[in-house]
Structure 1
Amino acid sequence: MVSFVTVVKNEGIKLVPFLIATGVYFVLWLPTSSPSWVSAFFKCLPIVCLWVFLLSHGINFLRDHSRARKILTGLIFSALGDAFLIKDGQVYFSHGLLMFAIAHILYSFAFGMKPLNLRTGLVIGTISGLCYIIIYHCLSGISTLLVAVYISLIGTMAWRATAGVLQISDLWTWTKLSAGLGAVLFMVSDLTLAVTTFCFPVPHSHAIIMATYYAAQMLIALSAVEYMDADVAKKV
């Protein structure tokens, strides 16, 4: 098992572009009321930096580690989702929802089905159901179905990400914790977005949504390092 300090030394420098891009986004704080290609660029830039983070491990790493490839592809779809959601109104909302839905499917496959941990699945499923109940009365038309499907997908992703963390018989690793915490933050971000979009404005909602979103994506990207270490250990 690779120690936290070792990972910080090895991976921290590779995350500097992401941290800078995230800082620039919050410093500029481009208004969502007047979306543009510039605001879309700076919103997507931190996620693009996470592509670079994974690519910095080398083409051989991505070729040999299918889970890392799935996470990278999920990040690509996430950036597309960000670009669609920068627009005003509901015109591109379904497009953005589809992009993030695909990203969550890819993340779920990346985290795998072992350990299954049905108890964690039941807990996450209950939480997801409660989240849907909270916003259900605010939905109408096709949004009722689309949001239900999306919540099911992000709930599945969170289940697979947290299954290893909450499996008592398994050893905890910082990368398992990274994936689990990232999934939980993603749910917080999306629930805040859904409540603000469909129900009522949440105070400081934009800051909450984006801070938890960027943190979630960074932690999910970092969890790919676990797969590299595990696979290397098998070959030694």
Structure 2
Amino acid sequence: MGTVIPMENIIENKNATGGLQGGPSGSSDDIINDVVPDGQPLNVSPLHKAWQLIGFFRRIFIYLSLNALAELGLLNLPDWARVIFKCLPIISLIVFVFRQFNSFRRLWINKYGLLVFISLIFSLTADACLVFKQIEAVFLIGIVCFIISHALYMFAFGWTPFKSRLLVRSFIAAGLVYYSVYIPSPNGTRVSLAQRSLVLKIGGGIYAAVVFSMQWRAWARVSYQDLQNGRWYEFLGAIGASLFVLSDIILVVDLFKFIIYGGDYAILVFYYLGQMLIALSVLDGKDIKWPRVGDTESGCKACCASPKACITTSPGIIAKWIFD
């Protein structure tokens, strides 16, 4: 862990030398290395972090706009261009996660940040493969990359507390989704999973198990007590995981069950938002000023009849009721 220099010492050093000096070289990197503890995100204001994601939303808008123009026949968008524009938002998130640590050394020793960072890279590869989803071999490569991505998220979220009831619910949901896309479609608009290759059937089963296990681990680490104390970053990761799962459900239904008009846009919107929330969860909870339940400074009591009413209308109690 780096040594924390008291702020008054830095100010005195600056006044004496005419600039910030963190070491013999006097470089700003030395100051950062001393002030910021190793393996922790840099202490940057939440507003500054929000500005870092503007490029992410801009790239989503560009890709969706180009995709819409291509579907209307107003633009010829080749597959290689589609791959580039589809992957740009995830590249923005990869850069965002890295910027929270500002060096590979700090990222390397922060297990959660490192696993999220690597998972985003595998998601990036999968995104490129799914552009060619009509080619089964390439589609399978994308599925494998997403399985690895979900597994990395699962390990990042950790294994305590276990929450066995939530695990049972997750596997029931996974089985229902797999069965729904396995049986033949009544209207015959899509080729069901039962009519596909054995490799795809097995891969689909593994994928369903892994993706719902990832959602189980994401919600298992959400603590209602932390939500009451204003620490919401685990909750952000859990919401992001659920949006990721929702995106995958729409994808497999559209591929193996029936055509979902506008499904491609719903898949992308939920997927990008889910990845963004998981990326935001790498931020230290102490660095974000969330309103606490019953906190007079946040105006919580002003809009509720009582602190008890505030608690019962909190998203935290809803999550506690559903997932505990």
User: TM class, shorter-chain normalised?
Assistant: 0.7 to 0.9
- Answer yes or no: is the 8 Å Cα contact 1:85–1:92 preserved in 2: yes
Q: 1:71 to 1:23 in 2, by over 3 A?
A: same
Deviations 1:88-110 (A, max 9, x none): 51231100001101101110111
1:42-191 equivalences in 2 (<5 Å): 42-57=85-100, 58-59=102-103, 60-89=105-134, 90-137=136-183, 138-139=192-193, 140-142=196-198, 143-165=200-222, 167=223, 170-172=225-227, 173-191=231-249
Deviation at 1:34, TM superposition (A): 6.5
- What secondary structure, in the 3-state scheme, does the structure 2 residue paired with 1:43 have? helix
Per-residue deviation at 1:87?
A: 1.2
Q: CA deviation at 1:25?
A: 1.1
Question: Counterparts of 1:226 and 1:52 in 2: how far apart (Å)?
Answer: 17
| SS of corresponding position for 1:224 | coil
Q: Specify every segment of 5 or more residues in structure 2 that has no aligned partner in the other structure, as ranges.
A: 1-43, 184-191, 288-324
Q: Which amino acid aligns with 1:23?
A: F
Q: Does the CA contact (< 8 Å) of 1:158 and 1:183 recur in 2?
A: yes
Paired residue secondary structure (1:171)? helix
Partners of 1:35 and 1:88 within 8 A in 2: no
Q: 1:14 aligns with which of 52, 61, 66?
A: 52
Listed as ranges, the gaps of 5+ residues in structure 1 are 1-5, 230-236
**Does 1:37 find its partner at 2:93?**
no
Cα deviation per residue 1:31-89 (whole Å; 9 max; x = unaligned)? 48965111100000000000110111211431331110110000000000011111151
Structure with the greater alpha carbon radius of gyration: 2
Q: Which residue of 1 aligns with 2:262?
A: 204
User: Cα deviations across residues 96-134 of structure 1 (Å, max 9, x unaligned)?
Assistant: 001101101110111111111112112212111111111
* Distance in 1 between residues matched to 2:178 and 2:157, nearest whole Å: 24
**Deviation string, structure 1 residues 117-154 (Cα, Å, up to 9, x no partner):** 11211221211111111111121322211100001110
- Distance change in 2, residues 1:7/1:210 (3 Å): farther
Calculate percent identity across the aligned residue pairs: 32
Judge conservation of contact 1:97–1:150 (CA < 8 Å) in 2. Answer: yes
Alignment partners' CA distance in 1, 2:145 and 2:133: 17
Contact 1:186 1:216 (8 Å CA) reproduced: yes
Query: d(CA) in 1 for partners of 2:57 and 2:260?
Result: 26
Partner residue in 2 for 1:3? none
| Higher relative contact order (Cα pairs below 8 Å, separated by 6+ residues) | 1
Please tell me the root mean square deviation across aligned C-alpha atoms, in Å. Answer: 2.2
**Do the aligned residues in 2 keep the contact of 1:182 with 1:219 (CA within 8 Å)?**
yes
- In structure 2, what is the equivalent of residue 232 of structure 1? none
What is the distance in 1 between the residues matched to 2:58 and 2:159? 35
Number of aligned positions between the proteins: 223
Letter of the structure 1 residue corresponding to residue 159 of structure 2: M
* Structure with a larger share of its residues in helix: 1
Conserved in 1, the CA contact under 8 Å of 2:66 and 2:77?
A: no
For residues 8 and 133 of structure 1, the distance between their equivalents in structure 2, rounded to whole angstroms, comes to 43
